[in-house]
Amino acid sequence: MNTWFNRIRYLLGKDYWSLSLYLKTRVKNVLKFIGNYEQLVVHEVKKDKTLDTVIVGHIHMSADKEISGIRYMNCGCWTEFCSAIVEHQDGRLELVTVD
């Protein structure tokens, strides 16, 4: 795909552009942003010694993991990934994904 894309760019007088490099950079930046977000949220939660779990949304990557002794849960996104966090009758929290 990159070859055909750059042939068209060449015909239009444009310079070479690397799709793979663009995607790698974007993915790295997104992953760094998510990691920073998770660390910031956990840092704030740890200020309250009575909390052991945080549930967040907005960043569309679902997660259920432990970070620095805090259970970090992200509900993900229902519209793109069909993920959500459910609470069972006994109080257990579970990240679910519907296929």
Residue 51 three-state SS:
coil
3-state secondary structure of 56: strand
Return d(Cα 50, Cα 71) in angstroms, integer.
13
**What are the tens digits of pLDDT across the range 25-48?**
888 998 999 999 999 999 999 999
Q: In this predicted structure, what is the pLDDT of residue 61? A: 84
For the entire predicted model, the pTM comes to 0.74
Q: Which segments of the chain have a pLDDT < 70?
A: none
Tokens 């970070």 found at: 67
